[in-house]
Chains A and B, each alone.
Chain A
Amino acid sequence: MSAEAVKQDDAPAEGSRDWRALLREIAESSALVVVMAVVASMVIGGLLIIFADPDVSDAAGYFFARPMDTFTAAWDAVSSAYTAMFRGSVWNYSADTFAQQFKPLTETLTMATPLIFAGLGLGIGFRAGLFNIGAQGQIIMGAMLGGWVGFAWHLPVGLHLLVAVVASALGGAIWGFIPGILKAKTGAHEVIVTIMLNYVAANLLAFALSQDAFQRPDSDNLQSPIVDTTAQYPLILGSSYRLHLGFLLAIAAAIGVWWLMERSTWGFRFRAVGANPRAARTAGMNVSFGIIAVMTIAGALAGLAGSAQILGTEKSLTTGIAGSFGFDAITVALLGRSRPMGTVFAGILFGAFKASGPTLQVAAGLPVDIVLILQSLIVLFIAAPPLVRFLFRLPTPTNEKVVAA
């Protein structure tokens, strides 16, 4: 087929770069697609809010008598929702003190921490061609092991935190290693195995919490003792904010992952295995080892997400310790296109969504689940740039970039 011989001509002719070309380049850029995807999702979210709003439906009842009432009610519903989200996640302009105004932003970063950790791990997997759905279970295992070291061991300041963090990473790593080795040795599909391991981990956690070793002595609820202060991540902005050292660790991890994937021989191998395992193998790379290493590293990063929960935010193990971070992290990694920088920004965006939940509920009377809708719509739109371009009538780029899963 002669199509193979098609060459891409990506060097534009000299001198052709007038302002028109510049505009066109902006219009074609994937950054614009990302922005438009967010806009489109918020529009759809807005429509849902309007649809579900009782005031709007009341006003719609007499739409033909006073149509403006419907529009006003709709506008009120949407604007109160989105301003609540803004106040809950970025800047609470209606608060009294600066400290309180500033607090939402720190909450956003706190929520972003586990998302970034787990998203980084999943991103490595995606680039190595492994679809790891198992971050949830890996977070649980990380939180379990790290939490146990945190409350059952008593070590000196500094050392205790270090050991607890390593234990979290180890817990997650084990839960990543299992699907890794099964995939490498038996070909078991990692999607199925990781899904199953999520349930196994959740049941293990429930079992552990029902045992004396994990049960808080003075409590009737299923919860563990609080981890020692020596094992907690220090708060980096003082005791009035929940933001802890884990966030900085997540940023450091992002830089580390960037180096690993772009500048190290291991990353080269991971990427080769992901893009074409057969060619990688023919060139002498150990594909099995690559799969196991990637899954183990991804698990360790998800385990660190667990550490952010147990040693930073929650401090006590409950059945809900992992929240939905493991699944949200999938969308984070997809939105961040599996790149570390992208994952950090996507993590912060979705962290903001999560942080805005309580305010959304209190101030706008909306269930927090609207953020799940926004989250999934954004990822869907970004995965399909032609759809976004179609919706906003943007020009099709001459050189369509393939969207990496």
Chain B
Amino acid sequence: MKLELKGITKRFGTFTANDAIDLVVESGTVHALLGENGAGKSTLMNVLFGLYDADEGEILLDDEPTGFTGPGDAMAAGIGMVHQHFMLVPPFTVAENVMLGHEQVKGPAKLLDLAAARAKVKEISDRFKFDVDPDAVIEDLPVGAQQRVEIIKALSRDAKVLILDEPTAVLTPQETDELLAIVKDLRDAGTAVVLITHKLREVQAVADTITVIRRGKVVGTAEPTASQEELASLMVGRDVSMTVDKTPAEPGDVMLAVEDLSVIDEDGIARLKHVSFDVHAGEILAIAGVQGNGQTELAEALLGVVPTTSGTATLDGELLTGKSIKETLHSGMGFVPEDRTEDGLVATFTIANNLILDLHDVAPYAKGMALQPRVIAEEAEEHVKQFDVRTTSIEQTAGSLSGGNQQKVVLAREMSRPLKLLIASQPTRGLDVGSIEFVHKRIIAERDNGAAVIIVSAELDEVLALADRIAVMYHGEIVGIVPPDTDRDTLGLMMAGAHEEAAA
């Protein structure tokens, strides 16, 4: 099936997310849509999938214009989509999720035919060697398996065009390779695949055609043989250095010592199991691993957001465990949460107020119980300048900022205290290249000032670029701590649970 987009334009208010985009996807090919975060790739695919109405332009299937009014139409026409944020109902089983929207019923009472759904899941799962249990509940599955469920969902509807939106964000390097192999299989079977990504390696590995999008516009097409540098500069609009400037670490004494730390969540499941490690002053320890293997819990346990069931953490000789979050922050920890909109910022508060969330009740921002609005504003102006937050006023709400500027506000706040330890989780997730460079520079500067730094990142590129040492987590345990020059395959195996000796 041939898919063609003609002059698609989509606006949100005054912002044009897609500007007259043309795209042709032939059946039996893999078409990569390359662009950095915020370029408008996902918007375009949501238009194609019927989730958004385009303001202008049309979508043609086999040269026939379509009039999708919703995803149901798109699916009926043979378009399937694996969303970046999985569209699975967490308390439902795999079979229920797969059948949802095109349920088979049986009997006079027309009740759900779960057996048929199970058989369907089993059949597709076996065909592609997915190893997915139809009766498993989604919320109990690791993210990799959830993604396979999403693919089964699309295939169970006989998708002729399959859209994969940033599909490798949650996978280990080996899982990524396997996914790319599946993509090739699907292509060979005649499916048209649209691969949305900002990862150059994947594009080179699997794409037949590459369309590059920048700021909502198609800026060019490229051959898969193009070099990474060429693709990167096309994507960003200028030459980008593929590496991060940084001098070798000069580690000092142990700053953070973690001993036997364990966390059990509300449902009684152990998320962190007897973890021990040290971080020295002036070094960056990167924690690598597939999302959901205890990294979040580790960071949150150190801050004190989740209670620990065993173990201790000591920062510069002071015991952290048992302290309140406030005491921990004031004893010299900076904390950049992985989800800035959920945990980092109050979206309806002004930038100025977001900058003092942690220090609002101490001098000079408060005298006794009274806030000092003048001081708060002055300091905010200063921070906004220092951290290059692009805004018209400090009185704007944090929610109105772009992701990169929001992250800068969080960094400005967390770095405004003297830091002994900085914990930054997914510090550049969803940011554009300019912001990524800025954030990386700031983190390295903090290390060079003598702070111990922990980076939690699902992006192996980022881990390799920043780390002085790499700790890999799997199923709530640290499977090994390795030097930064460890090769990707070894790291990949460790991310799948292999111990360091076995992986190397």
A contacts B: CB pair < 8 Å: yes
Q: Is the CB of A2 within 8 A of B38?
A: yes
In the complex, what residues of A have CB within 8 A of residue B269's CB?
A: none
Q: Is the CB of A1 within 8 A of B369?
A: no
In the complex, identify which listed stretch (B67-75, B183-191, B345-353, B482-490) lies at the interface while the others stay far away: B345-353
Shortest distance from the beta carbon of B477 to any chain A beta carbon, whole Å: 25
Mark out the residues of chain A between 261 and 300 whose CB falls within 8 Å of any chain B CB in the assembled complex: 263-266, 268-269, 271-272, 275-276, 278-286
Q: Is the CB of B343 within 8 A of A278?
A: yes
Q: Is the CB of A282 within 8 A of B305?
A: yes
In the complex, what residues of A have CB within 8 A of residue B366's CB?
A: 265
One of B335, B342, B370, B402 near A5 (C-beta < 8 A): B402
Q: Is the CB of A276 within 8 A of B347?
A: yes
In the complex, identify which listed stretch (B12-20, B222-230, B436-444, B449-457) lies at the interface while the others stay far away: B12-20
Q: Is the CB of A7 within 8 A of B216?
A: no
Closest to A187 in B: B266
Q: Is the CB of A272 within 8 A of B349?
A: yes
One of B43, B325, B353 near A284 (C-beta < 8 A): B325
In the complex, identify which listed stretch (B55-63, B257-265, B356-364) lies at the interface while the others stay far away: B356-364
Q: Is the CB of A3 within 8 A of B324?
A: no
One of A5, A268, A278, A283 near B403 (C-beta < 8 A): A5
Q: At the interface, yes or no: B240 with Cβ under 8 Å from chain A?
A: no
Q: Per DSSP, are chain A's interface residues mostly helix, strand or loop, or mixed?
A: helix
Shortest distance from the beta carbon of B409 to any chain A beta carbon, whole Å: 12
Q: Is the CB of B40 within 8 A of A2?
A: yes
Q: At the interface, yes or no: B386 with Cβ under 8 Å from chain A?
A: no
One of B324, B358, B373, B401 near A283 (C-beta < 8 A): B358
One of B13, B43, B346, B401 near A1 (C-beta < 8 A): B43
Using A2-B40, A8-B400, A265-B360 as known contacts, say yes or no to A281 and B325 having CB atoms under 8 A apart.
Answer: yes
Q: Is the CB of B324 within 8 A of A284?
A: yes
Q: Is the CB of B13 within 8 A of A6?
A: yes
Q: Is the CB of B326 within 8 A of A284?
A: yes
Most B CB within 10 A of own CB, among A2, A5, A8, A285:
A2
In the complex, what residues of A have CB within 8 A of residue B236's CB?
A: none
* B300-316 Cβ-contact flags toward A at 8 Å (1 or 0): 00010100000000000
Mark out the residues of chain A between 241 and 272 whose CB falls within 8 Å of any chain B CB in the assembled complex: 263-266, 268-269, 271-272
Complex: how many Å from CA A275 to CA B354? 12
Most A CB within 10 A of own CB, among B330, B344, B346, B366:
B346
Q: At the interface, yes or no: A9 with Cβ under 8 Å from chain B?
A: yes
In the complex, what residues of B have CB within 8 A of residue A266's CB?
A: 369
In the complex, what residues of A have CB within 8 A of residue B353's CB?
A: 268
Count how many pairs of residues, one from A and one from B, have CB atoms less than 8 Å apart in the complex. Answer: 104
Q: Is the CB of A282 within 8 A of B14?
A: no
Q: At the interface, yes or no: B392 with Cβ under 8 Å from chain A?
A: yes
Q: At the interface, yes or no: B427 with Cβ under 8 Å from chain A?
A: no
One of B343, B361, B403 near A282 (C-beta < 8 A): B343
Most B CB within 10 A of own CB, among A266, A275, A276, A402:
A276
Q: Is the CB of A2 within 8 A of B370?
A: no
Q: At the interface, yes or no: B394 with Cβ under 8 Å from chain A?
A: no
In the complex, what residues of B have CB within 8 A of residue A279's CB?
A: 342-346, 357
Q: At the interface, yes or no: A220 with Cβ under 8 Å from chain B?
A: no
Q: Is the CB of B357 within 8 A of A3?
A: no
In the complex, what residues of A have CB within 8 A of residue B494's CB?
A: none
In the complex, what residues of B have CB within 8 A of residue A3's CB?
A: 12, 15, 17, 43
Q: At the interface, yes or no: B294 with Cβ under 8 Å from chain A?
A: no
Complex: how many Å from CA A264 to CA B361? 9
Complex: how many Å from CA A346 to CA B38? 44
In the complex, what residues of B have CB within 8 A of residue A275's CB?
A: 346-349
Q: Is the CB of B337 within 8 A of A282?
A: yes
Most A CB within 10 A of own CB, among B335, B357, B366, B402:
B357
Complex: how many Å from CA A286 to CA B337? 17
Q: Is the CB of A282 within 8 A of B325?
A: yes
Complex: how many Å from CA A5 to CA B330? 33
Q: Is the CB of B357 within 8 A of A5?
A: no
Q: Is the CB of A2 within 8 A of B369?
A: no
Complex: how many Å from CA A271 to CA B330? 22
In the complex, what residues of A have CB within 8 A of residue B342's CB?
A: 276, 278-279
Q: At the interface, yes or no: B371 with Cβ under 8 Å from chain A?
A: yes
Q: Is the CB of B371 within 8 A of A265?
A: yes
Q: Is the CB of B343 within 8 A of A2?
A: no
Most A CB within 10 A of own CB, among B15, B305, B328:
B15
In the complex, what residues of A have CB within 8 A of residue B337's CB?
A: 282
In the complex, what residues of A have CB within 8 A of residue B428's CB?
A: none
Q: At the interface, yes or no: B42 with Cβ under 8 Å from chain A?
A: yes
Q: At the interface, yes or no: B329 with Cβ under 8 Å from chain A?
A: yes
One of B17, B39, B392 near A11 (C-beta < 8 A): B392
Using A5-B38, A7-B15 as known contacts, say yes or no to A286 and B326 having CB atoms under 8 A apart.
Answer: yes
In the complex, what residues of A have CB within 8 A of residue B326's CB?
A: 284-286
Complex: how many Å from CA A276 to CA B337? 14
In the complex, what residues of B have CB within 8 A of residue A278's CB?
A: 342-343
Shortest distance from the beta carbon of A215 to any chain B beta carbon, whole Å: 44
In the complex, what residues of B have CB within 8 A of residue A284's CB?
A: 324-326, 328-330, 358
Shortest distance from the beta carbon of A290 to any chain B beta carbon, whole Å: 12
Q: Is the CB of B216 within 8 A of A2?
A: yes
Complex: how many Å from CA A262 to CA B353? 12
Q: At the interface, yes or no: A4 with Cβ under 8 Å from chain B?
A: yes
Most A CB within 10 A of own CB, among B13, B328, B337:
B13
Q: Is the CB of B43 within 8 A of A265?
A: no
Complex: how many Å from CA A216 to CA B149? 72
Q: Is the CB of B42 within 8 A of A2?
A: yes
Q: Which residues of A line the B interface, CB within 8 A? A: 1-9, 11, 263-266, 268-269, 271-272, 275-276, 278-286, 402
* 6 A–B pairs (Cβ distance < 8 Å), ordered by A: A265-B366, A265-B371, A279-B345, A281-B305, A282-B305, A282-B325
Known: A1-B42, A285-B326. 16 other contacts (CB 8 A): A2-B38, A3-B17, A3-B43, A5-B38, A6-B13, A7-B400, A11-B392, A265-B361, A265-B370, A271-B349, A276-B348, A279-B357, A282-B303, A282-B344, A284-B325, A402-B348
Sorted nearest first, the 6 A-B pairs with minimum C-beta distance are A284-B326, A283-B357, A265-B361, A2-B17, A6-B15, A5-B402
